[in-house]
Amino acid sequence: MKQHVQMMVAAVLALVISACGGYQQNIPPPKDAVITPDGGKVEVKGTAGTTLALDVPAGAVTQNVALKITPISGAAGRFKVEPAGVRLLKPATLTFTGNLPVKSHFFWNNGTTRSVIPGTVQNNTLKSTVSVLGYPSGTAASKIQKQATGDTTLEVAVLDCTAEIAALETQIGQTLNKKRFEEAIELHDRLMSVVQACAQTETARLHARACDAYAVALQNAQVLAASSQQLLSDLIVPLENAAATVQALGAPCDLSGMGAVVDQKFDQFLNFLEGEYRKNSFSSDTQDHLQALKRLFNLHADCQLLGVGDAVCDRFPTDLFPDTLDRLRQAAYRECVARETPIVLVRLYQDHFDPVRPVAQGSQSGPYFTHARYTYDDLEKDLSYCASDLKMQVFDDATTVPIEKTEQEQTLKAPATPGNYDTEAEFTLTFDGSITLSGKLLTPVCATDRFSNDQLVFRIAGQEIARKPASEGTFTINTSPADLIPSRDLLAAGQKQLLPSFTVVVQREGEGCGGLLSTELVLYRLKINVLPPSLTVKPENKTVSTGHPLKFQALFDTVPTTEVDWQTTGGTITPDGLFTAGPVAGSFQVRATAKDKPELTATAAVQVREDFSGIYSGNCRDISPVSSGNGRPFPCMMVVVHDPNQTQVTFHTRGLFTGSITNRKLHVERTGELVFGNFTPTSFQGNHVDGLEENDPEADRIDIQLNRAPGLVWTGNISGGLSSSIFASLNVTQTSVSGTAIAVNTIWTVNGNIAADNTLTFGLATGGDASVTFTGTINAERTSMSGTWRATSGPSNGKTGSFTLKLR
């Protein structure tokens, strides 16, 4: 009874499907086809606009098989497939198109038994695979041949899974009780087909729901614009979830259009983001740009996770990241200019400010942070120049009175925006000129807020010529300007002194914040063109005595130089310019020739005169015009030293000589030789007691002070505890004259009485019995005088002693 009810329900459902197609007066004709081993297809029109196709793959049959499909009247989903019972080596595909409920399936119906063929429904299309025409795939071959009748039809109907499964389970139980095992096996095959079909029906329902949800999400994403991150999320997240469900269920939805929609939405959002970010972005501070960079990193990760196309996701590394990093660099540079400290740029360089994940520092010449349009080298230049201000002034004479060449003054200042730094300058100056550097050059501030231990080094052709230390973040050029002098610096660099041009490289050298920055960074290149110098020799037109030396000096412009070769036409001259006159008087020439430029020469004249140096003693007489050449003769002694411009003498007499003799002609007689000259007499000037030694231990100590007074050769006094007059015998001693010891016999007597105040006034006069020996030099400061004293009356009568005088 239960089976009969199930058959009736199936019949009713078949009628429902048939009714959906409407009433058909004409039944479409059957279709014939020959299926070959290469495969084939039969497609036939059914009633109510339906179609049925049987697609047999290659290799399904081993010989040609004639197939025929005939539509059956009265139902839109009934067909006869002939010949019935054909077994296929490979499954063929049945496709039915029409207005179908979701639970529709194919059935083989032989009039008494209906066997389900599992299939799937999508978009009013039902598909199934079959291995046997007319019977379930599990039916035995003998059974197929036995029941291969022309009454078997192919039907499309709704499957009531619960009822169908229950009925088959009951039938299986009954046949087993009756021990009809072959029939039970057939029923079991039909049950498995029903179970499979029901599972496919439920899967198809889930697929349909997933596809519907995906279609709605796709349509929403297509219609609405992603003009903010929230809208992007509201559009993309449901679409991605729906697509994920479709993929998890394996639903046969077409997801091919999703990628283009997601790309479009992300592209729309990026356009919006760029527009918003560009508003006043260059005036934002560093932190704003760091937050923007962090946001972009997160969005880039989302873009990749969502599977957005490369054309869209690549906008991050190709456009958005570089734009943000450009603005980050601008902000850090502005802060350095405003605060005169590169600390933010240094942190940007060293810490990278990576807001998401650490990124290893690339090569110095590689892109900063992988995506920037500038390199690490560029960023290091930013922090080196952002607060720099190098002023250069040119002067034409570094050795005497410098005169500034204002038309050549240059200043290398930091630009308002990073990059395109002015780091080179060119000057033209004289050989003895100079360039004064001043201004402000900062040292790097390390990330630990300490100043890098660096120095400012000046080099020519790699050779160091100067080094300036830093103090509290500023190179000392800021407070103590540096000078560049070609005449000095070329020699310091071991270069030829007469190079027409050279380049001074100014660079920062040192620890570079522990190696995080460059330990050597070229900051400036200063090209210096040097005007050809003139060569001169000093002194000029000098007079020197025979056998005497004279030092000459060569000068490039006003700068002394040793880079010359010396020659002379008389006497000798050393490589350092020391000329020695020969034994013959006359006019001679000294020549200097530049070693680097033989065509550059200079000369100086030298006059050699006979040397009259010596000791002259005897009778002197004033023969100046003021005395009409008949001055009073007097005993004298002169030490004469010949000078190229004037003869000077140290003049001594053995008696009183009144009046000045400076610049007056003297007649001097020496061993019958007369010597005349414009003599400038000099004399000992002042003296004091160097020591006093008493021969008598009981004698009082005596201090002697000698002074020179007008009208007298010597005046002085002796003070002490003596109450009697003394007789002093003096011995005057000098060591040498021009390196030669000379002795002159002269007698000087000192005598007088000590008054009640214990002082003695005396003068030097000729005569007496004291013997004085005189040797010495012309330098009065080196003269010493020693002698003995004796008291001639009073309590100290008879006491003697000795003394030494140093004359000043």
Highest mean pLDDT out of 71-75, 171-175, 435-439, 743-747: 435-439
Question: Are 549 and 504 part of one and the same domain?
Answer: no
The residue behind tokens 């000589």 is 657
Q: Is residue 111 part of a domain?
A: yes
Range of the domain at 584: 535-609
The answer as to whether 145 is a domain residue is yes
Is pLDDT at 731 greater than 90 in this prediction?
no
Per-residue confidence band for 450, with pLDDT thresholds at 50, 70 and 90:
confident
CATH number at residue 17: 2.60.220
Residue 670 domain-assigned? yes
End-to-end CA distance of the chain: 162
| Residue 468 parent element (H or E) | strand 463-471
Quote the pLDDT of residue 580: 94
The residue from 585, 609, 633 where one domain ends is 609
Question: Of the given ranges (72-86, 290-304, 662-676, 688-702), which has the lowest mean pLDDT?
Answer: 688-702
Same domain for 550 and 479, yes or no, is no
Mind listing the pLDDT tens digit for each residue in 776-789? Answer: 222 333 344 555 55
Nearest to 504 by CA among 454, 455, 456, 465: 465
Query: Of 678 and 376, which is predicted with more confidence?
Result: 376
Q: Do residues 709 and 576 both lie within one domain?
A: no
Residues with Cβ within 8 Å of 545's Cβ and at least 6 positions away in sequence, in order, are: 581, 608, 609, 610, 611, 613, 642, 644
pLDDT at 183: 72
| Interval 56-115: pLDDT, tens | 999 999 999 998 988 887 666 888 888 887 888 999 999 999 888 777 888 888 777 778
Judging by beta carbons within 10 Å of its beta carbon (0-12, 13-18, 19+), is residue 522 exposed, middle or buried? middle
Q: Are residues 269 and 332 in the same domain?
A: yes
Tell me which residue has tokens 């999320």. 233
The answer to whether residues 39 and 124 belong to one domain is yes
Average pLDDT over residues 783-800: 54
pLDDT digits (tens, 9 = 90+) for 259-296: 888 888 888 887 777 776 666 454 457 777 777 788 88
Q: Nearest to residue 432, comparing CAs of 558, 561, 537? A: 558
Peptide bond into 598 cis (omega under 30): no
Separation of alpha carbons 678 and 315, rounded Å: 101
Beta bridge partners of 526: 425, 504
Read off the pLDDT band of 529 (50, 70, 90).
very high
* Contact criterion met (CB below 8 Å) for 643 and 677: no
Domain-embedded: residue 102? yes
Query: Environment class of residue 694 by beta-carbon count within 10 Å: exposed (0-12), middle (13-18) or buried (19+)?
Result: middle
56 Cβ neighbours under 8 A, 6+ residues apart: 35, 39, 40, 41, 67, 88, 92
Say whether both 658 and 802 belong to one domain.
no
Name the residue with higher pLDDT: 791 or 249. 249
415 & 491 share domain: yes
Residue 564: CATH number of its domain: 2.60.40.1080
Selection from 111, 107, 124 nearest residue 197 by Cα: 107
The yes-or-no verdict on residue 747 having pLDDT over 50 is no
| pLDDT at residue 551 in the model | 94
Query: Could you report the per-residue pLDDT of 596-614, keeping only the tens digit for each?
Result: 889 999 999 998 877 666 6
* Residues 678 and 723 occupy one common structural domain: no
Rg (CA), the chain: 63
What value does the mean pLDDT of the chain take? Answer: 71
Where is pLDDT greater, at 783 or 195? Answer: 195
- pLDDT(723) > 90: no
**678 shares its domain with 692:** no
Cβ pair 251, 257 in contact under 8 A: no
Q: Which residue has the higher pLDDT, 568 or 777?
A: 568
The whole-number pLDDT of residue 150 equals 61
| Length in residues, the chain | 808
In a 13 Å sphere around the CA of 701, the CA atoms on its Cβ side amount to: 5
* Within a domain: 579: yes
Cα separation values, 553 from 442, 499, 590, 602, 671, Å? 43, 21, 10, 11, 41
- Whether 355 and 480 map to the same domain: the answer is no
pLDDT in the model for residue 578: 96
| Two tokens, residue 357 | 């994940």
Q: 785 is written with which tokens?
A: 């005088």
Report the C-alpha gap between 566 and 552 in whole angstroms: 10
Could you report the per-residue pLDDT of 107-125, keeping only the tens digit for each? 888 777 778 888 888 778 8
Domain count, the chain: 6
**Which domain-ending residue is among 590, 609, 628?**
609
Q: Is the pLDDT of residue 769 over 60?
A: no
Residues 264 and 124 in one domain: no
Does 189 fall in a domain?
Answer: no
Q: Do 234 and 361 lie in a common domain? A: yes
Instruction: Tell me which residue of 358, 341, 374 sits closest to 440, measured CA to CA.
Output: 341
Which of these three, 557, 581, 609, is where a domain ends?
609
In a domain, 574, yes or no: yes
Q: Please check whether residue 222 lies inside any domain of the structure.
A: no
